[in-house]
Structure 1
């Protein structure tokens, strides 16, 4: 099947539509297309327990995402190895054939979103997946599958979608924190690593994130940036596109609810996909490793497996499962952050899939 394409229209402002209509269109080809406007309004009132509102909230703050691309080397697939996609891009949920199938299957752009709520904040994690963590030198290790991302801290200030006040990104085995101008918080037990910048897309401001080529570490732009070839991705709830080239500057990525039927949380016990809690299964097939022994297995993680090994009391996976704890540790004043969850499926609170 050919990837969806449309005429490029860049980053332009559009007229603001009524909230109910926006929510109605938010889930695109999925369930919300059949909801009435009244049901969409009810979803807004229900809050993040509604998949409709989670979709709208995640879309509102979803990053404009810059992906640096390297087209050199036999494992780059002429740049395709740096395209973001979904874990089941190849039509199955096996984690051990993704490296192999990256060469032949469409890599339409997707990102996973998961929302957690307290009385004071919404915490939104965006997970960007690549089938390969690759190298073009024999001195670097490669591995199948790669999942890195960003936690956005959104303060519930009484407005419809709150105010974005901070971000923590995942770059390999380290976390990095960024604050926008005018943020009401500052460095806490961890230092702030830079500024969170914004650009206008569809009439509203979105944060800008960027990933390296090959290893795909993620930071707020311009701490990382496109160097030479690169793809610029923009969020959607209905459209997933494959870049037309390694320099495509206008590509839509589709957001997937991490807790939903297409997400990973429901599949956390699937042995074909996960080798252990939060760790994606991956092997050495398909030519991974430029020389023998330099392809590692089971080396990528879902958000509940992300870890920074030297950030004090924050445990593995808590960037997703206990983000209020992380925010109160990383930022000051800690008293600003309620640590009592009103919606957190990672902890079984308000799980939309619970019986």
Structure 2
């Protein structure tokens, strides 16, 4: 939606300057600063409960719900990820990026799946009609830079397809802004470190919409007494032992790593456009093709092509912030979503680090 709805000319000009800088290549950060950002992302990396559905023609016994990397099969071809899901182990990776202003650090985590699929049961009209190759959902974690080593957790925004949902942990002074806070962000300790509280997210099976854990009754039930995988940040990219593995470590991968997601955004085998992962509806020599699990069936075009967006193209079109702002301009989005003591009268766009827009001072 147009920024001019509620922005002063000064803020609009500042945003234009930020976006214009995106045409430049970021300069390398100092080793210490880069290490600090990576450590901050590691500290606040979420614990993620992935609910698993083992039924349906394209479920692969639950494997279709495992998180992994887009190159899990050893290549940078997004158009064979659906087919290769059954042929390769799905080691757990989560992508991240860090954007900073003097006041806040915005930590974005992306969960990738090779399949967005359906079990063929029409219990959710919007989610069960079609399938598509590749899927990316995630969560923005907002941390106040209070001078401590890891800052103070203030809020989170999760991605459920074309909708964003906002959360605050207990004790946060963030409240509803232009968008109503949807609930409490639970914290969960990690048995592989000192056990400090981390954002606790959950993903639905099939379509992998992300929420704060405990918000959805179905996911509460599955976490308590059903099946699913609990992913913890760690030093090893582990492969789940099955559809009910409650301790799987994932490793973090920087979106801006050399030859990484951002660097390859113009690689046409991986991205159909810079805003869309490449995915097709081709045949599958190893089993059911994309679309076979959708209620419409493959004959009726139930496999959407090039349907998954990378984080810099995520959008909630019903909300004011623009397309991709969750990654590229999070200060604007958070200013809209939340209120807090001392909140400025306009968004603080004085980014000190925003590689999406070439800002690496």
User: Could you tell me the TM-score, scaled by structure 1's length?
Assistant: 0.83
Which range moves more in the overlay, 138-147 or 79-88? 138-147
Partner of 1:242: 239
CA gap of 1:127–1:262, structure 2 versus 1, over 3 A, is: farther
Partner of 2:312: 304
- Residue by residue, what CA displacement relative to the aligned partner does 1:53-90 show, whole Å, maximum 9, x if unpaired? 22211110000110000001120000000000000000
- The 5 Å alignment of 1:103-122 reads 103-122=86-105
CA distance in 2: counterparts of 1:122 and 1:308, whole angstroms: 21
Report the number of matched residues.
Answer: 303
Q: Please state if 1:174 is matched with 2:163.
A: yes
Helix, strand or coil for the counterpart of 1:300? coil
Query: Which among 270, 274, 278 is matched to residue 271 of structure 2?
Result: 274
- Residue by residue, what CA displacement relative to the aligned partner does 1:286-325 show, whole Å, maximum 9, x if unpaired? 210022210000100100010001002x111110000000
- Residue by residue, what CA displacement relative to the aligned partner does 1:228-282 show, whole Å, maximum 9, x if unpaired? 210000002x310000010000000110011012530111111111111221110
Contact kept in structure 2, 1:112 and 1:263, CA below 8 Å? no
Partner of 2:349: 339
Higher RCO (CA-CA < 8 Å; seq separation 6+): 2
Displacement of 1:200 in angstroms is 1.8
Contact kept in structure 2, 1:84 and 1:109, CA below 8 Å? yes
- Residue by residue, what CA displacement relative to the aligned partner does 1:311-344 show, whole Å, maximum 9, x if unpaired? 02x1111100000000101011441863210000
Helix, strand or coil for the counterpart of 2:38? helix
CA distance in 2: counterparts of 1:110 and 1:263, whole angstroms: 13
- Residue by residue, what CA displacement relative to the aligned partner does 1:106-125 show, whole Å, maximum 9, x if unpaired? 10000001000100000000
CA RMSD of aligned residues (A): 1.5
Helix, strand or coil for the counterpart of 1:338? coil
Partner of 2:136: 147
Q: Please state if 1:92 is matched with 2:92.
A: no
CA distance in 2: counterparts of 1:262 and 1:200, whole angstroms: 32
User: Could you tell me the TM-score, scaled by structure 2's length?
Assistant: 0.81
Q: Please state if 1:186 is matched with 2:186.
A: no
Partner of 1:73: 56
Contact kept in structure 2, 1:274 and 1:281, CA below 8 Å? yes
Unaligned residue ranges in structure 1 (runs of 5+): 1-41
Query: Which among 190, 209, 227 is matched to residue 229 of structure 1?
Result: 227
Contact kept in structure 2, 1:256 and 1:262, CA below 8 Å? no
Tell me which stretches of 4 or more aligned residues in structure 1 moved more than 3 Å.
Answer: none
CA distance in 1: counterparts of 2:188 and 2:306, whole angstroms: 36
Partner of 2:200: 208
